[in-house]
Amino acid sequence: MLIADGTAGWSWNPVADLQQMWAFPFMVNAFRAGAIVAVLAGVIGWYMVLRRQSFAGHTLSTVAFPGAAGATLAGVGAVYGYFAFCVGAALVIAAVPRAGRESGGGEEAAVTGTIQAFLLGAGFLFIALYKGFLGGVNALLFGSFLGITTTQVQVLAVVAAAVLLVLAVVGRPLLFASVDPAVAAARGVPVRLLSTVFLVVLGAATAATSQITGALLVFALLVMPAATAQNLTARPVHGIAASVVIALAVTWTSLAVAYYSPYPIGFWVTTFAFAAYAASWGARLVHERLGRAPDRGAAAAGGAPAWTSGSVL
Amino acid sequence: MTVLALGWPGALGHPFFLHAVLAGAAIAAASGMVGYFLVLRAQVFTGDALSHMAFTGSLAALAAGIDLRLGLYAATIAVALLLGTLSRSGRADDVAIGNVFAWITGLGAFFLTRYSTSGGADNAGAGVRVLFGSIFGMSAGQAGTAAAVAAGVCGLVLAAFRPLLFASVDEAVAAARGVPVGLLGYGFLALVGVTAAEATQAVGSLLLLGLLAAPAGAAQRLTETPGRAFALSTVLAVAEMWGGLSLSYAVPKMPPSFAIMALATAVYAAAFAVGGWRRRAPRLAPA
């Protein structure tokens, strides 16, 4: 069961295990990349969950797959494909008017779903055209941490720094616009522009992240730590910090476990993240039963923290 | 289109194409009907979750060494009912759905590894087949079963059309008038599960969302009358399926799943343009 290329299984000595694991440059790179990705996904994901844009986030992350496949077919670096497709799809989704919201958001969802299916189909076409690439499909979709180069880590760091910088600048108005778009717009906050900026930033973050976790599982890292954090605390700064810490813990644990197991990293990331989410639900329920919940009214109203209730959807 | 249609008599001589045309039409009709209500009820994200479940369900069945379709149907229907239960209690929003299905996708990766490491080169392609479909690989028996199941779905949707439409458009009033809203919601989700399992065999679990969302979205852009939109959604889905199949037959390099999705997206984009123009037109008229 426990096979990793050329290494012995794990011992009961964690220090020796870590030393042995980090003797491989690719593992060191994987941990570095994992840390960057976790911080990025933790912060962006928190806003995504707050804005109830999980479906858009999911679509942007799956779009990374045709991007990478297309770039491989065209003979350029997969990185360019990731970014071109993710940011491009973000702009398309942002261009669709959100007016459908009043009618339950059915149309926006239909557009998003169609874009997603079409681009995934395009990815399949690229693969069909590029013979012999078939084995790479699973790596593109489900991630592989074995081949991360130092250059990739550097690119990732630059993208992450840029994304976090943008978020630092628009963070406060974006929070306002997410919590109460109508009031924010009335106060002169450019809600529409912020929404577009956020989607583009989300696209860039998913493009960076999918190189590590695979296109289908970025979404897990975006949504789960953030949802867990929002179960634990309603305060923005605490929530973002908790989201980042959870994402980091999940990513590093998954890397260590995946190193010793034959199963893909994506499986471990989703499983640990889901366990944390389920635990946060349990903790919250216990808290509410004991009657010590900080905002019982909001919890009863549907699980959103008090200051998000009745705002975004 | 006419050029492609001329190729049909020859194409229909191939059993694989005949099977694809028959099963594809039934699957597309079911997807178009169910998709109409999915868009109307704003449950597209649920459809997305079911498509991921279809992936995990089929690979779990393969890894366990049983018929793929067994896992497909069992998994999608079970999750459909689970999602129905979660939303009934008013707790499951898109975040909860997203969490559950992100984990399910990870589980799918687990089963894929189990299955592909157990049987060598032939098994390694299984994931790709499940994800992207293989409608040209259907046998007569498979096509017959798919058509029969899809016909059943279509019959049920048609039978429940009026109360389901009422419950979708105005749930509160429908409930007050004695329409069994909760039961209809469950029944509908179960039908979506069956349709998802059906469509997975044709276009793959990753692309079935397009078959569910695109024709319905286009139809609702083009007309606001429910009955017409419903019919149009069904017709569009079947036409896109057949068009995609012939396109793929004419251009062998193009996988059928891609051709169907490309056509569906093009029709949706066109409907967007036309519908947008039509909706603006009356506002200009009085001035």
Range of the domain at A78: 25-309
Once rounded to an integer, what is the mean pLDDT over residues B101-111?
A: 85
Option in B112, B217, B258 nearest A124 (CB): B258
Whether the pLDDT of residue A209 is over 90: the answer is: no
Whether the pLDDT of residue B250 is over 50: the answer is: yes
Q: Return the top range by mean pLDDT from A26-35, A199-208, A299-308, B173-182.
A: A199-208
CA distance A274 to chain B (A): 6
Residue B4 in tokens: 């492609």
Option in A58, A124, A142 nearest B255 (CB): A124
Q: Return the top range by mean pLDDT from A282-296, B4-18, B91-105.
A: B91-105
CB A83 within 8 A of CB A29: no
Examine residue A5 and state whether it is found in any structural domain, yes or no. no
Q: List pLDDT tens digits, range A241-267.
A: 999 999 999 988 988 888 888 887 888
CB A11 within 8 A of CB A17: yes
Residues of chain A contacting residue B211, judged by C-beta atoms under 8 Å apart? 117
Instruction: Say how far apart CA A159 and CA A163 lie, in whole Å.
Output: 6
- E-strand spans in chain A? none
Once rounded to an integer, what is the mean pLDDT over residues A224-236?
A: 90
Whether the pLDDT of residue A6 is over 50: the answer is: no
Instruction: Say how far apart CA B214 and CA B192 lie, in whole Å.
Output: 15
What superfamily would CATH give domain B3-279?
ABC transporter involved in vitamin B12 uptake, BtuC (1.10.3470.10)
Best probe of the A interface among B37, B56, B103, by most A CBs < 10 A, is B103
Angle (deg, nearest 10), helices B15-40 and B181-203: 150
Q: List pLDDT tens digits, range B155-199.
A: 999 999 999 898 888 888 888 888 888 888 888 989 999 998 888
Residue B82 in tokens: 């689970």
Say what the pLDDT of residue B182 is: 83
CB A25 within 8 A of CB A146: no
Residues of chain A contacting residue B41, judged by C-beta atoms under 8 Å apart? 104, 106
Q: List pLDDT tens digits, range B15-32.
A: 888 888 888 899 999 999
CB contact under 8 A, A271 and B107: yes
Residues of chain B contacting residue A5, judged by C-beta atoms under 8 Å apart? none
Q: Domain total for chain A? A: 1
Mean pLDDT of chain B: 82
Please spell the DSSP secondary structure of A293-310, one letter per residue. Answer: -S-HHHHHTTS--GGGTT
Say what the pLDDT of residue A290 is: 80
Instruction: Say how far apart CA B215 and CA B234 lie, in whole Å.
Output: 7
Examine residue A9 and state whether it is found in any structural domain, yes or no. no
Say what the pLDDT of residue B1 is: 46
CA distance A55 to chain B (A): 7
Of residues B282 and A116, more confidence is placed in A116
Once rounded to an integer, what is the mean pLDDT over residues A46-59?
A: 87
Whether the pLDDT of residue A143 is over 80: the answer is: no
Say what the pLDDT of residue A45 is: 92
Whether the pLDDT of residue B5 is over 70: the answer is: no
CB contact under 8 A, A117 and B113: no
Kindly provide the b/e burial profile for residues A289-304, where b requires at least 16 CB atoms within 10 angstroms of the residue's own CB: eeeebeeeebbeeebb
Angle (deg, nearest 10), helices A191-213 and A78-95: 150
Instruction: Say how far apart CA A104 and CA A146 lie, in whole Å.
Output: 43
- The residues with which A7 forms a beta bridge, in sequence order, are A4
Window from A168-172, B113-117, B120-124 with minimum mean pLDDT = B120-124
Residue of B nearest to A123 (CA): B258
pLDDT bucket at B233, cuts 50 / 70 / 90: very high
Q: Is B114 exposed, middle or buried (0-12, 13-18, 19+ CB in 10 A)?
A: middle
Say what the pLDDT of residue A239 is: 92
Size of interface A-B (CB pairs under 8 A): 205
Residues of chain A contacting residue B237, judged by C-beta atoms under 8 Å apart? none
Residue A298 in tokens: 């909001």
- E-strand spans in chain B? none
Instruction: Say how far apart CA A88 and CA A80 lie, in whole Å.
Output: 12
Of residues B277 and A161, more confidence is placed in A161
Whether the pLDDT of residue A73 is over 70: the answer is: yes
CB contact under 8 A, B264 and A118: yes
Q: List pLDDT tens digits, range A282-295.
A: 888 888 888 654 55
Once rounded to an integer, what is the mean pLDDT over residues B225-232?
A: 91
Q: Is A19 exposed, middle or buried (0-12, 13-18, 19+ CB in 10 A)?
A: exposed
Query: How do the domains of chain B map onto residue ranges?
Result: 3-279
Best probe of the A interface among B46, B59, B99, by most A CBs < 10 A, is B99
Residues of chain A contacting residue B205, judged by C-beta atoms under 8 Å apart? none
Examine residue A265 and state whether it is found in any structural domain, yes or no. yes
Write the single-letter amino acid at A250. V
CB contact under 8 A, A274 and B127: no
Examine residue A174 and state whether it is found in any structural domain, yes or no. yes
Whether the pLDDT of residue A3 is over 60: the answer is: no
3-state DSSP assignment of residue A51: coil
Instruction: Say how far apart CA A38 and CA B9 lie, in whole Å.
Output: 56
Mean pLDDT of chain A: 79
Of residues A17 and B82, more confidence is placed in B82
Please spell the DSSP secondary structure of B80-93, one letter per residue. Answer: HHHHHHHHHTT---
Q: What are phi and psi of A101, to 5 degrees?
A: -55, -40
Q: pTM of the predicted model, to two decimals? A: 0.79
CATH code for the domain of A176? 1.10.3470.10
